[in-house]
Amino acid sequence: MLYLEILGNLPEMARDEAKAMLELAGGEIAGQDYLFLKLDAGEEAFPCLDRLSLAHEYGELVVEADSIEELLEKAREVEWPIRGTFKVDTETMANCRHDTLDLPRKLGAVIHARGFRVNLSRPDTLVRVYCGERVYAGIRLRFFDPKDFEGRKAHHRPFFRPISLHPRVSRALVNLTKARKEILDPFMGAGGILMEAGLLGLKVYGVDIKPEMVEGAETNLRHYGIKDYTLKLGDATKLEELFPNKEFEAIATDPPYGTSATLAGRRRDELYRKALESMYRVLKKGGRLAIAFPADFDGKAEAEKLGFRLVGRYYQRVHKSLDRYFYVFEK
């Protein structure tokens, strides 16, 4: 059994991102306690879990209990897969119902008594304790360093436009499509979504109506070492003309929200409807589309009219005058 700690700012999207990646690996979510997920999956899921973006860490779940006393009792019996020295580190979640004060010391003493050495400054193994409705202890296997994502934020890229999504959100959109091989972004802008997809090893296809964006996205992709891309100057409402005889496994995109500059003179809602139609036509049957729309556009109704099925919808307030939904649809 594995555990996964998801991030708290878009928790439902984070859980569904994990679910999508587990489905690729043949595993599933076995339980949830606030931001702590129990995963019915083994080592074979690591490559898919390593793709995650809205996650803090994952590891091997060793014990779980209804109380601290029960946790300590079980800790005396179980096998601890500890390598070298260890340290106990506690995560007290907002829903924690137990008194975790002194728990690192108590659990540390139990594990020490089993023959392992403590090292508080440079441990080889981190034993993580999570307190929520129940208590859990596991071994951290992978930590998702925020610095990896921060380094790809818009202002760190050679071609900079302030229109980009946060890299974590871009990657989550890619993952929610369950893409294995390739992805299309028909409103690619500076290429933020394509960068994340390319770094996951997917072949990326992009479209933008502005020549400077096509050039800029290419500059950004190359800067991050992504070579397997096809970028086109063109209109997201005419994808079948841009890619004749091509059907895409997945689409992830963030269309313009309504400033005249990014809409290139088109009426917003008409652009969204026409682009949805075109995306539907070029998407494979069973393929997924992950897309952002401002909250005042009913993306669900418009997509369902075309035959899409809603798989997930997640709300995000960006600032006073912009709130949006991220949608995941299946054809």
Ligand X SMILES: C[S@@+](CC[C@H](N)C(=O)[O-])C[C@H]1O[C@@H](n2cnc3c(N)ncnc32)[C@H](O)[C@@H]1O
Contact positions vs ligand X (CB under 6 A): 163-165, 170, 186-193, 207-210, 213, 235-237, 254-256, 262-264, 271
CA-angle at 277, arms to 274 and 282, nearest 5°: 125
Distance CA 108, CA 106 (A): 5
CB of 69 to ligand X, least distance (A): 50
Q: Which residues pair with 143 in a beta bridge?
A: 57
Helices 299-306 + 268-282 axis angle, to 10 = 40
CB of 266 to ligand X, least distance (A): 6
Distance CA 120, CA 106 (A): 14
- Going by C-alpha positions, the residue among 49, 97, 43, 35 that lies closest to residue 71 is 97
CB of 174 to ligand X, least distance (A): 11
Residue pair 2/39 in contact by the 8 Å Cβ criterion: yes
- CA terminus-to-terminus distance, the chain: 33
Q: Nearer to ligand X by C-beta: 254 or 330?
A: 254
| Residue 160 per-residue DSSP state | -
CB-nearest residue to ligand X: 192
Q: Nearer to ligand X by C-beta: 15 or 161?
A: 161
- Going by C-alpha positions, the residue among 77, 67, 122, 121 that lies closest to residue 99 is 67
Q: Nearer to ligand X by C-beta: 118 or 263?
A: 263
Q: Nearer to ligand X by C-beta: 132 or 255?
A: 255
CB of 255 to ligand X, least distance (A): 6
CB of 313 to ligand X, least distance (A): 19
CB of 289 to ligand X, least distance (A): 14
**Helix or strand or coil: residue 247?**
coil
| Residue 118 per-residue DSSP state | B
